[in-house]
Structure 1
Amino acid sequence: MNYRFIFLSILLLATQAVWAQKASITGIVNDKSGNRPLEYASVSLFRNSDSSLVAGSLTDAKGNFLLEKLAPGNYYLRILFMGYTTRFVGNVSVAAGQRLDLGVRLLEPGSSMLDQVNITGTQQNAINRIDKQVYRAGQFESAKGGNAMDVLKNLPSVSMDGEGGISVRGSSNFLVLINGKPVVTDARTVLSQLPANAIEHIELVTAPSAKYDPDGKGGIINITTKKGATDGFSMAANVMGGLPSTGDHGNKEKPKRFGGDLTVNFKKGKWDVSAGGNYTRNDNAGYREGDVYTKNFTTGMLTRFPSSGERSFDKYNYAGRASATFSPDSANTFSAGAFVGKRYQARLADILYHNSASQIGNGELVRETTYFNSNLQTRYGNFFLGNIDYTHTFRNKSTLSASALFENARLYGNTRNKNLAYPETGEVLQEVYNPYENPIKGYRLKLDHAIHIGKGKLESGYQFRHDTQEGTFGYSVTPATSQPDADRFRGSASAANRIHSVYTQYSGKLEKLEYQGGLRYEYADRTVWLSYDPAPHRLDLSNLFPSASLLYAIKKDWKVKAGYSKRIQRTNNYELNPIPEREHSETLEQGDPDLLPSFIDLVELGTVHNFKKGSLFGTLYFQHIKHPIQRVNSVYADTILNRVFTNAEAATVFGLEAGANLEPVKWWSLYIGGNVYNYRIKGDLTILGITSSVNNKDWVYSINTNSNFKLGDGWSMQANINYLSVRPTAQGEDSRFLVPNASLKKTFFDGRFSATLQWQNIDLGMQQTQRQRITTSGRDFYTTTNYIYETDVFLIHLGYNLNRLSGKSKLPASEIGDKEF
C-alpha cells in the first residue's frame, strides 16, 4: 500500500511538470517602509487604448502576483492596498508568448497610516476570499495578554462555552493550522499555549479544499503569527498582571494571574531568524452546584446526591520557540524550527455531598448521610518538536516543497479522590488514586508541488502521518474494597495511527468567476492494544474527500460564493481508552476502543458586500454528520455515573452566519458577527453494550460584537460581548453563556509603548456572567450541574515594540501531544 501511494504521488507530480506556461506578467508588491511583502494587494491590468479592465489578481503571502493569457498590446497596472497610496505602472508592453517580470513594486503607506492614532483604524480588519475569511487579531484589544482562544471567540461562527471549549458552527471538532502547518491536536489545549500578542491574522476556512487535511467537521482555523517586518533587528515584549480579585468564591487560595511574552527577529540578506518565549500563570476561581439522582428498579430505590463547593484551577504554561529561514537564492528556501514547552494544570473540587435513599413507590426515606469530597486532578505535559522545510521554485514559477515534523511528548499526572467525614474532615472514609503516564511520539512527512496552468494553478501532493501512544494507568483504593471489576481500572492502553494521503486540486479565475476543485484520497489504519484484552482493536479506512468552491462577482461590490467539502472527525486516544478514571466522587470517565470516526458533508452558499463604510457577509450552510461522536452518561452504581464516548446514528446542522465590519465615523469602528443554526441528533446510542434511541433538536445562536472608540491623543477604548444560547445535546442541554469585556488603552512614544487596562467577565453583581448549567437525563438517572466562574477580573497589560512585527513566522506548535493533555 505504501509503494502505491508513493508511485501515485510521483506520477501526479511528473504529470504537472510537462505543462508549458503561456504569456504572462509577474511581479512582487512590497511595503516601501519595510520592504516586506503585502498579502491580498489588488493588482489590475488595463488596456491603454480604452482603459478597459483586462485581468486582475491578488498577491499571495510573499507578495507575488501573476496575470496570464494576455494578448499582445500596451497596458498599464493599478496596485491597491487599503491604507497605502495607490500606485500605477505605465508603459507595460507585452509581445506574443512573452513572460514579463516587473520585479518588486513598492507601495507607500498613506497619510492615514502615518498618523499614530489612525494606525489600527485604517487596517483591514476582515477580508473575504473564495475559500476563507481573514481577520486581523489586533482589533480585539480584550485578548491582549491572553491566548489564541481569547482572539478566536470573537469571530462570527465561533463560540466558547463555560469549560473553555471552542466551537465552529456548533462543532468543537476542527483542524488547527499554525502558519499553514497542521496541528492534529485538541484545539483548546494547543491554542491555550499560543499568546494572543504573537498572532497577526486568523483565517477561518469553513469549506476547505482537498489540499488540506480533511480533519475537523467544523472546518479549519489557520493562525498566522508575527515576525520581523524589516531588515535588521525587531522585538516585541509584553507583560501582564492581574489586580486583586473583586469577588470571593470561598476558594482555599486566591487566583494568581501574571505573565509575559517576548518575540525577537533578525532579518538580513539571506537569513531570517526568529525566537520567542512566553510564561503565563492564569488561575481561575470558581464554584459548582449540582443535583443528581439515580433509580435502581431492581431494589426499588431512588438515590439523590446533591452537592456544592469549590471548583478552581491553577494553571501555568511556558514555552520557547525558535526558527531560521535561509534563502541562498531566489529559487531555494530552507527553514527549520524547534519548540520546547511545559504545561501544568491542577483542578481542585472540594465538594460537600448530601446523600439520601428513598423508596421509589412511596418516597419513604431509608437512609441519608453527608460527607466531604476533596478531588485534586493534576496534569503535566512536556513537549518537544522540530520541523524542517525546503521549497524550490523552478524557472516557470512552479514550486516543489518538502517538509518533515517530529514530536515527542511526555504526558503524566494523577487524580486523587478523597471522601472525608463531615463536619470533622480529618477522617478519610475512602481514597481513590489514579496515576498515569502517557508518552507520545509522532511524525509527519509531506511533499507538495504547484504549477500555473492556463489561468489557474494545479497543486498535488502526498503526506504520511504516524503517531504512537503508550499509556500506563494505575488504580488503588484505600481502605481496600471487594470490587469484582477492579482489574479493569488499571493496566495499559496503547494506540497507533497511520495515514497515507494523496491529493490534487486546480484553482483559477475566469473573468468574474473564481473557482477551485479537488480530490483527496486517504488510507488510514488504527490499532488499539489493551492489557486485559489479547485481541487488538483494528480499524482500516479507505476514503475519498472531494471539494469545490466558486466565487462570482455580480458587480464591483457584490460577490456570491458556494462551496462543498467532505470532512472527517477522527477519534483521539483519550476517546479510545476504555480504562476508567475516577474523575469525581460521582463520575467515572472512559472511552471506547471501537469508537468510529464521524464523516461530514458540508455545503454552503453566501454573499459578500463591500462598501465605503465597511463590509458585510452572510452564509447559509448545511452539514450532514454520519456517526457523530457523543459523550454520554449511564449508571455505574447508585452514586456513580459512567461518562463514556459513543457514536449516534446521524446528526444534521442547518444554519446562517453573518458578519459586518463598519466604520460609521473616523473615531468609531464596529464589528458584529452572529450564527444561528438548527441542530438535530437522532438514531440509536449504544452505551456500554446497552442500546437506546435519541431524537433531540433545537435552535442555537451566538452573537459576538466588538466596538472600538478612538478618544484622541493616543487613547482608545473597546467593548465586546460574547453570547452563546442554550444548546441541545444527545441526553439534555447546555445553558446559555455570556461574557462581556472592556478595555482602555494608551500609547506612548509614537506607538512603541502601550498600556492597557482590561475589565474581563463584567457582571457587576447581576449573577448573569460566566455561568453555565449542564443537564442530562435518562430512564434511570438525572443530573444537572451549574458551573459558576470568576467575574469582574481586572488586568494590566504593558507592551513594547521595537520596529514592527508582522507577517508569517514559522515558529512551530504542538502537532500531536497537546491532544491528550
Structure 2
Amino acid sequence: MLIQVKLHLHPISKKFEINQTNHMKSIKFLFAFLLIYTTNLVAQQPNSGIVTGKIIDNSTKEPMSYSTVKITDGTKSVAVVTTKEDGSFEIKNLELKPLVLQVNYVGYINITKELNLSEGNSQINLGNLALVSDAKSIEAVTIVKERSTIEQKADRKVVTIGKDLIASGTTASEIFNNIPTVSVDPQTKELSLRGNSNVRVLIDGKPSNIDAGQLLQQIPSASIKQVELITNPSAKYNPEGNSGIINIILNKNTQTGFNGNITSGVTFGKTPKTNQSLNLNYKVGKVNFYTNYGFNHGKNANYGFVDSERPTLENYQKFSFDNTNTSHLIKAGADYYINDKNTISFFTNWNVTDGKGISRTEIDYDNPSNTDELQLNDNNAGSVNQTYDLAYKHLFKKQGETIDFQLNYSKTSNEDVSNYYTNGTYQLNDIFNKTNYTQFNIDYVNPLSEKAKLELGYESRIQDGQNSFYNESLPFYANNPFAFNRNIHAVYGNYSKTFGKFSAQVGVRIEQYNLYARFTKNESNPDFYENTAVKDDIFTAYPSAYLSYKLDDTNTFNVNYTRRVDRPSIGQINPIREWTTPLMESRGNPALEPQFTNSFEINYTKILKIGSVTSAVFYRQINDEISRVIYPNPQNNNQNILSFDNFDNNQSMGAEINANLKLTKWWSTNASADVYFKTVRGTVTNIVTNQPENKEIDVTLFNTRLNNTFTATKSLKFNLFAMYRGRDLGLQFLRTPMYRVDLGANYTILKGKGTLTARYNDMFNLMHFGFNGNIPYQQNGEFHWESRTFYVGLNYNFGGGKNKELQRKQRDKQETQGGGGMF
C-alpha cells in the first residue's frame, strides 16, 4: 500500500509536505480488519508438555538440518516443525497424554517414537535421533518439485520454484509475475516488490553488475531453485533497496555420488522459444563438484500504438518490435570438507547474452504541415558477466561458534550498437559499459548461551567502471566517456536473545560510502566539451530491531524495524542517453542524491492442519525520494527528456496475505492478495501556459493471484493459475487492469524420474498494457506482447544419493531467526 509515489515533470526539484488526513479512515479500517482476522485465527491450546532432540545422519553423525518433525495424536496432526541448522528441535505446549513423534527427510527411512507425556514426565529429551538412508527412496529423489511452495520465515518469504512456474515462462522475468507481491512491467521490464521498484536483486546472495530488468531476462527459469523475498533485512545485510531484497538461488546439487537433472522445454507463440537446463554433481569423499548450465533462445514480437492529442502536434504513433535473444548461464564450483571444523568452497557464474532486434516507429501527424516521420532501428547488443567466489568456514570447539571469510569478484562488459534511419537520415549509436566489482566479508557468530547469540562482521565493496557513448551522425561525431568509482566499507553487529515465548534481535550497521564519477560531453559542436563531476562522501548508521512472539507451535507474530538506503545506480546518474525516439529520450541525472527509508513491518503466521496462512502490514517513511521525471528537451521543442530527480519526504503503507493450503487429498492451492493506497503528487507542465503546476491524486491498487494444483492420479496433476493486477492511476495516465488465466498439466513417467509438462499461458489473451490520460494532453494507447503461448517440456532426474547440504554461509542470504512452516 503506497501512500505516496511522486512523479516530477520538470528538471528542478520541488519540496512538498505530505498530508495524511485523507488516508486515516482507510488505514484504521485496514488495521481493524487485520486485527479481527488474526484474532479469529489464534487458537489457544493446553500447554505444558515439551519435547526436544537432535536429528543426525546415522553414518556421518552430522546434523540433519531442515528435517521435518511431526507430532500426532492418532490421525490428528498436533504440531509440525523443521530442525535448525544444528539438527535440533523443540516442540512446546503439548497436551500431557500419549502422543507419537515422526521424523522425515527425503532419501531416509522415517523415524517413529511413542511419547508418554504426563505431569511427572512433562519434559522429554530424546537426545540424538539417527536417520538411516533408504536406498529405494534414493532412486526417486526429485530435484524439481511438482508444485511451487511458499515458506514464511522471520524475515523473508522463500518461494521454491516448481515445474508449474518453470512452465509459465522461459525466463525469470516471465515467471516473476506469478510470485506474490512481485511484478515485472511488461514493457520496461522494471522489477517491483510491494509496488516499489527500489528493490535490490542478488544472485546466490551476490550482487550483479547487470541492471535488474535486464538480468531477469537473461536467467532461464529452469535454472532457478528458489526466490527469497527479504522485505526488511537486518543489519547483517547491505542496506540498499527501499522495498527490500530479492535473492535468486540457482540450482546446486550436493547429493552423494553422481547425480543430475535436466529440464528441456519449448514455448510456442508467434515463434518458438526454448529453455534448457542441466544440473550435474559428483560427490565423493570430502569433495563435492557441481555445475549448472542454462540456455535460453527465442524470438519475441511486440507491437503497440499511442494516440496523442498534443496541441499543434496531434499524432498517431505505431510501434513494432522483433527481437531475437540468446543467453547462456553457467555455474560451476567445488566444496572441500577439509575436516569436521574447516570447509573451503569455490564457485563461478558466467552469463553470456546476445540480442538482435529490429524496430519500427511510425508517427502520423494530423496537421498536414507537420511532416510524418518513420524511424527504423536495427540493434545488436551483447554482454558477458563473470563472477568468482571463494569462501572459507571454520567451526570452533564451542557449539555454534563460527567464522566465515568470503571473497567475491565480478566483472561485466556489454555493448549496444543501434543503427537509426529517420526519414532517410542515418545515425549510429554505440554504447559500451565495463564494470568491476570486488567484495570481501568476515563474519563471526558466537552463541553466548543457549538463548543468546552475538554476530559481528566487516564488509568492503569496491566498484569501478567506464561507460562511453559514441554517436555518428552527419555532420558531427560525438564521443562521450563516463567513468566512476564507488567504495563502501562497513561493520555490523547483531545481538539476539530468547526469553520465554519471545525472541528479540537488535543490530546496527555502520557504513562509509564514497562515490566519484566523471563525465565529458561534446554533443553541441566539435570544439565544445562539457565536464561534469559527481562526488559523495557519506558516513551513516543503519539500525535494525526484531521482536518475535511464538504463542504456540501454530501461531507466530513478528514486529521489526530497519533503516535502509537507495543510492542512485550508475544508470540513474549517467547523463549518457540510453535510448531515443523522435519524441522521447532517456538519460540519467548526475545531481541525484541517495534516498533513506525507515521501514516498519508486522507479520503473522498461522499454521493450520491443511497448511499455513501468513499476513503482513508495513509502513515506510522515505526521505528525498528518487522518482521518474519528464521535462521538455531544451534543444528540441518536439522532444521530452525522461530522467530521474529527488523529491521531498514521502510515506507508504501496505498489507498482504498469503495462504498455502492443501484443501483435500486431490486439491492444493496457493492464494495471495495485496492492497496498496498511495497519493501521487508532483509537478506537471501546463500545456497552455507552459508553466509547472502542482498536482495530487489518491490511488488504490489491488492485486491477487491464485495457483491451484489438482491431483487426478498418482502420475497426473493439473494446474490452474489466475491473476488480476488492478488499475494504477498516475499523474499522466491511468493504466488499465490486467488479467491472465493459465492451464497446465504434469505427468510422471520413467518410474518417477521424469515428468512431462504442458501449459497454456494466458489462454484468453487478456494480458496487455493499456493506458489513457489527459495530462499534460489527451492520449491513450496499448502495447501487446506474446503473452498467449503453449509450453511443453520434460524434466528428468538421474543418479541418486543422500542429500547433505554444505553448511556454508552465503552473503546476503542469512536468516535472523527461524520460524514459519514448510509443506
TM-score range, shorter chain: 0.7 to 0.9
Partners in 2 of 1:225 and 1:77 — Cα distance?
37
8 Å contact kept, 1:338–1:811: no
8 Å contact kept, 2:209–2:435: no
Q: 1:119 to 1:160 in 2, by over 3 A?
A: closer
Q: Once the 2 structures are TM-superposed, how far is the Cα of residue 431 of structure 1 from its aligned partner?
A: 2.4
Q: Once the 2 structures are TM-superposed, how far is the Cα of residue 514 of structure 1 from its aligned partner?
A: 2.5
Q: 1:810 to 1:63 in 2, by over 3 A?
A: closer
8 Å contact kept, 1:30–1:38: no
Structure 2 counterpart of 1:65, from 88, 107, 117: 88
Q: 1:144 to 1:243 in 2, by over 3 A?
A: closer
Amino acid at match of 2:264: V
Partners in 2 of 1:186 and 1:814 — Cα distance?
20
Amino acid at match of 1:157: T
SS of structure 2 residue aligned to 1:551: strand
Q: Does residue 677 of structure 1 match 2:672?
A: no
Structure 2 counterpart of 1:129, from 153, 157, 160: 153
Matches within 5 A, 1:73-152: 80=103, 85=110, 87-88=112-113, 105-106=130-131, 125-138=149-162, 140-141=164-165, 143=167, 146-152=170-176
Matches within 5 A, 1:527-538: 527-532=516-521, 533-534=530-531, 536-538=533-535
Structure 1 match to 2:120: none
Structure 1 match to 2:647: 648
Q: 1:757 to 1:372 in 2, by over 3 A?
A: same
Q: Does residue 632 of structure 1 match 2:632?
A: no
Post-superposition CA distance 1:100-129 (Å, at most 9, x none): 9966732789999999999958x9933222
- Overall identity of the aligned pairs, in %: 20
Structure 2 counterpart of 1:605, from 602, 609, 618: 602
SS of structure 2 residue aligned to 1:210: coil
Q: 1:376 to 1:696 in 2, by over 3 A?
A: farther
Partners in 2 of 1:660 and 1:774 — Cα distance?
32
Structure 2 counterpart of 1:305, from 315, 327, 339: 315
Amino acid at match of 2:334: A
Structure 1 match to 2:412: 409
Structure 2 counterpart of 1:434, from 419, 429, 438: 429
Structure 2 match to 1:173: 198
Partners in 1 of 2:375 and 2:433 — Cα distance?
27
Q: Does residue 746 of structure 1 match 2:747?
A: yes
Structure 2 match to 1:797: 793
Structure 2 match to 1:756: 757
Q: Once the 2 structures are TM-superposed, how far is the Cα of residue 386 of structure 1 from its aligned partner?
A: 0.9
Unaligned runs of 5+ in 1: 1-24, 45-52, 69-75, 92-99, 246-254, 296-301, 358-365, 421-427, 481-485, 816-821
Q: 1:586 to 1:658 in 2, by over 3 A?
A: same
Partners in 2 of 1:810 and 1:581 — Cα distance?
43
Structure 2 match to 1:49: none
Structure 2 match to 1:461: 457
SS of structure 2 residue aligned to 1:790: coil
8 Å contact kept, 1:652–1:681: no
Q: Once the 2 structures are TM-superposed, how far is the Cα of residue 521 of structure 1 from its aligned partner?
A: 0.9
8 Å contact kept, 1:627–1:647: yes
SS of structure 2 residue aligned to 1:146: coil
SS of structure 1 residue aligned to 2:232: coil
Post-superposition CA distance 1:213-264 (Å, at most 9, x none): 111111122333333353101111111123363xxxxxxxxx3412311110
Partners in 1 of 2:199 and 2:59 — Cα distance?
38
Post-superposition CA distance 1:485-537 (Å, at most 9, x none): x88x6411111111111111122432212222211111111111011444521
Matches within 5 A, 1:720-731: 720-729=721-730, 731=732
Partners in 2 of 1:451 and 1:79 — Cα distance?
31
Structure 2 counterpart of 1:210, from 216, 222, 235: 235
Post-superposition CA distance 1:762-791 (Å, at most 9, x none): 225xxxx22113567655x56544211123
Q: Once the 2 structures are TM-superposed, how far is the Cα of residue 741 of structure 1 from its aligned partner?
A: 1.9
Structure 2 match to 1:15: none
Q: Once the 2 structures are TM-superposed, how far is the Cα of residue 437 of structure 1 from its aligned partner?
A: 1.4
Unaligned runs of 5+ in 2: 1-51, 72-77, 92-98, 117-124, 522-529, 813-823
Q: 1:494 to 1:733 in 2, by over 3 A?
A: farther
Partners in 2 of 1:30 and 1:740 — Cα distance?
44
Partners in 2 of 1:316 and 1:119 — Cα distance?
24
Q: Does residue 444 of structure 1 match 2:439?
A: yes
SS of structure 2 residue aligned to 1:537: strand
SS of structure 2 residue aligned to 1:758: strand
Q: Does residue 281 of structure 1 match 2:297?
A: yes
What is the TM-score of this pair, normalised by structure 1?
0.80
Amino acid at match of 2:285: G
Matches within 5 A, 1:1-16: none
Structure 2 match to 1:344: 354
Q: 1:277 to 1:80 in 2, by over 3 A?
A: same
SS of structure 1 residue aligned to 2:572: helix
Structure 1 counterpart of 2:540, from 539, 543, 548: 543
Q: 1:292 to 1:619 in 2, by over 3 A?
A: same
Amino acid at match of 1:630: S
Q: Once the 2 structures are TM-superposed, how far is the Cα of residue 187 of structure 1 from its aligned partner?
A: 2.6
SS of structure 2 residue aligned to 1:750: helix
Q: Does residue 264 of structure 1 match 2:266?
A: no
8 Å contact kept, 1:236–1:800: yes
Structure 1 match to 2:18: none
Q: Once the 2 structures are TM-superposed, how far is the Cα of residue 665 of structure 1 from its aligned partner?
A: 0.8
Q: Once the 2 structures are TM-superposed, how far is the Cα of residue 86 of structure 1 from its aligned partner?
A: 5.4
SS of structure 1 residue aligned to 2:329: strand
SS of structure 2 residue aligned to 1:453: coil
How many positions carry a matched residue from both structures? 722
Matches within 5 A, 1:669-748: 669-682=668-681, 693-729=694-730, 731-748=732-749
SS of structure 1 residue aligned to 2:596: strand
8 Å contact kept, 2:166–2:221: no
Partners in 1 of 2:597 and 2:618 — Cα distance?
13
SS of structure 2 residue aligned to 1:475: strand
Amino acid at match of 1:497: R
Partners in 2 of 1:504 and 1:472 — Cα distance?
40
SS of structure 2 residue aligned to 1:153: helix
8 Å contact kept, 2:753–2:796: yes
Structure 1 match to 2:580: 583
SS of structure 2 residue aligned to 1:329: coil
Structure 2 counterpart of 1:39, from 66, 69, 76: 66
Q: Once the 2 structures are TM-superposed, how far is the Cα of residue 312 of structure 1 from its aligned partner?
A: 3.2
Q: Does residue 159 of structure 1 match 2:183?
A: yes
Partners in 2 of 1:621 and 1:356 — Cα distance?
48
Partners in 1 of 2:807 and 2:379 — Cα distance?
34
Q: Does residue 355 of structure 1 match 2:335?
A: no
Structure 1 match to 2:385: 383
Q: 1:115 to 1:477 in 2, by over 3 A?
A: closer
Structure 2 match to 1:323: 333
What is the TM-score of this pair, normalised by structure 2?
0.79
Amino acid at match of 2:580: E
Partners in 2 of 1:271 and 1:79 — Cα distance?
32
Amino acid at match of 1:552: Y
Q: 1:229 to 1:490 in 2, by over 3 A?
A: closer
Structure 2 match to 1:222: 247
Partners in 2 of 1:139 and 1:161 — Cα distance?
23
8 Å contact kept, 1:618–1:659: yes
SS of structure 1 residue aligned to 2:178: coil
Partners in 2 of 1:207 and 1:796 — Cα distance?
38
Structure 1 counterpart of 2:571, from 574, 581, 590: 574
Structure 2 counterpart of 1:371, from 370, 373, 382: 373
Structure 2 match to 1:659: 658
Q: Which is further off, 465-474 or 781-790?
A: 781-790
Q: Once the 2 structures are TM-superposed, how far is the Cα of residue 684 of structure 1 from its aligned partner?
A: 6.4
Partners in 2 of 1:36 and 1:799 — Cα distance?
31
Q: 1:31 to 1:694 in 2, by over 3 A?
A: farther
Partners in 2 of 1:812 and 1:241 — Cα distance?
36
Partners in 1 of 2:138 and 2:664 — Cα distance?
17
8 Å contact kept, 1:208–1:565: yes
SS of structure 1 residue aligned to 2:371: strand
Q: Does residue 524 of structure 1 match 2:513?
A: yes
Amino acid at match of 1:758: R
